[in-house]
Chains A and B, each alone.
Chain A
Amino acid sequence: MSQAGVISDEQVEILINDVLEHHGYDFTGYSRASLKRRLSRLYSLDKHLSFAEFRYKTLNDDVYFKHFVEGVTVNVTEMFRDPSFYRLLRKQILPNLNTYPFIRIWLAGCSTGEEAYSIAILLKELNLLQKSLIYATDINPTVLEKASNGMFPLSQMKSYSENYIAAGGIKDFSSYYSANYNLAKFDEELKRKMIFSTHNLVSDRSFNEFQLILCRNVLIYFDRPLQFRVLQLFDQSLENLGYLALGTKETIDFSPISATYKKVGTEKVWRKVGA
């Protein structure tokens, strides 16, 4: 099925405008090619008969609008994605945070929570979980509900287990969940140190200071000016000597904050070294 060109460039701008004015969600800084694809995909999946219908429902139907936000944002994620990154967390970054009496971690754009549970597993194995708090935020309340359930498809567990081992895990991965029909339910203990909350990187402010901020594969959907603004928000939210982790194709190079950060190893992790 071809989804190209279902929604025109003009219609993309109309929807962005509607959503900003009526719902207060600001997508103006999103990369257009990707946004256009997401909107065309949603339009086709929901079998709208006309653009007018799509627009009307988006504007007036609050239940549909939640679905709209979920459809427009990308919520593809996995546990221990990029094992070499998680190995760096396990071997170097999290052990360094052990010097703090209390560890605050912000996972921005946590989607359905797979990364939050991956980090909690590392913290537990390093005996740091009891003094840590993971603030897992997302623009989208629907995915946060899923994240707080801590249940992921059982069919994924084989590949997650392989990732976990590649990231330096030595336990039996299946000891962290119980199988329930076709779902894997992760231990409540992991969840006890997570706080789920909506936060919109575009419009919401800094809400705490952290020693580690992770935001992986979110900035790729933003244009340069918005990327820079969000990086400044992270900078305001990060303690001196704290760490910022981005996706494998994202960078702080050329951004306003790059002068006060130092890269850690070969992964996309930077440490705040102060002005």
Chain B
Amino acid sequence: MRKTAALVIGGSAGSLDVLLKILPQISPNIGFSIIIVVHRKQGTDSLLSDLLSHRTALKVKEADEKEKINKGYIYIAPSDYHLLIEKDFTFSLDYSEKINYSRPSIDVTFQTAADAYGDQLACLLLSGSNADGVNGLISAKKNGGITLAQDPESAQVKYMPEQAILRANVSAVLKIEEMANYINSLSLNP
């Protein structure tokens, strides 16, 4: 039976609104960790954590380097660092070159998460204007993970989820209204 250990959500332009809509509906009893990587300006870290923590009963915190990843937490990738998942399920940070003009890069977190979690990973790619995250979805799928994209019709900026659907052969395409249910059901060994 399949079990989800982590859900990584990536997004860029237009993704914050989606997060604000779906977080309140995510069950406080999910048995896995949620890791959020969104492109944004430098120096807005605490703002984003504050914003999201008001929308959920789950604990929201910025991912610290070498921190153990716990279930039932929502972790936010800090701005201007890549966020990587180690095999022992801790975070590490990396200030290397931007990938797809982005740091944090969604690809980096998806790919290292795919390495660490294998088939216990789910990845969701939201609205955005570049293709960061698509290669990561391909890696996640290859390692047996579930891959999801926002329905481009519901996205403020279609390009990112469109590229995901075009290139990554995603497991499912979700409208915003469908996301919370889908995420809650990941706890239940679908």
Contacts and interface: CB of A to CB of B under 8 A. Distances in A.
A250 interface: yes
Contacts of A223: 66
A223 B116 CA distance: 16
Given A33-B115, A249-B64, A250-B65, A220 B93 contact: yes
Interface in B69-93: 78, 81, 84-87, 92-93
Contacts of A224: 66
A31 B108 contact: no
Contacts of B115: 4-5, 9, 33, 36
Given A32-B86, A37-B112, A76 B138 contact: no
Nearest to A218: B95
B114 interface: yes
Nearest to B63: A249
Given A4-B114, A33-B92, A33-B116, A76 B97 contact: yes
Given A31-B86, A33-B86, A249 B92 contact: no
Interface string A7-18: 001000000000
Contacts of A76: 95-97
Nearest to A254: B66
Contacts of B85: 33
A32 B91 CA distance: 11
Nearest to A73: B96
A37 B84 contact: yes
Contacts of B65: 220, 249-250
A56 to B, nearest CB: 26
Contact of B135 (A4, A74, A250): A4
A200 interface: no
A199 interface: no
B112 to A, nearest CB: 5
A38 interface: yes
Contacts of A197: none
A220 B87 contact: no
A74 B84 CA distance: 15
Contacts of A32: 86-87
Nearest to B143: A5
A186 B97 CA distance: 24
A144 to B, nearest CB: 19
A221 interface: yes
A220 B108 contact: no
Interface in A185-215: none
Give the contact-size bracket for chain A. Answer: 20 to 34
B179 to A, nearest CB: 25
A2 interface: yes
A209 to B, nearest CB: 29
Given A76-B97, A220-B95, A33 B84 contact: yes
A220 B80 CA distance: 13
B111 interface: yes
B49 to A, nearest CB: 14
A91 B178 CA distance: 53
B95 A31 contact: no
A221 B108 CA distance: 15
Contacts of A38: 96
B139 interface: yes
Nearest to B115: A33
Contacts of A4: 107, 111, 114-115, 135-136, 139
A34 interface: yes
B75 to A, nearest CB: 13
B45 to A, nearest CB: 9
Interface in B85-143: 85-87, 92-97, 107-108, 111-112, 114-116, 135-136, 138-139, 142
Interface of A: 1-2, 4-5, 9, 31-34, 36-38, 74, 76, 217, 220-221, 223-224, 227, 247, 249-250
Given A4-B135, A37-B96, A249-B81, 13 more contacts: A2-B139, A4-B136, A4-B139, A31-B84, A33-B87, A34-B94, A36-B115, A37-B84, A74-B95, A76-B96, A76-B97, A223-B66, A247-B95
18 contacts: A2-B107, A4-B115, A9-B115, A32-B86, A34-B92, A36-B115, A37-B108, A38-B96, A217-B95, A220-B65, A220-B93, A220-B94, A220-B95, A223-B66, A224-B66, A227-B66, A249-B65, A249-B93
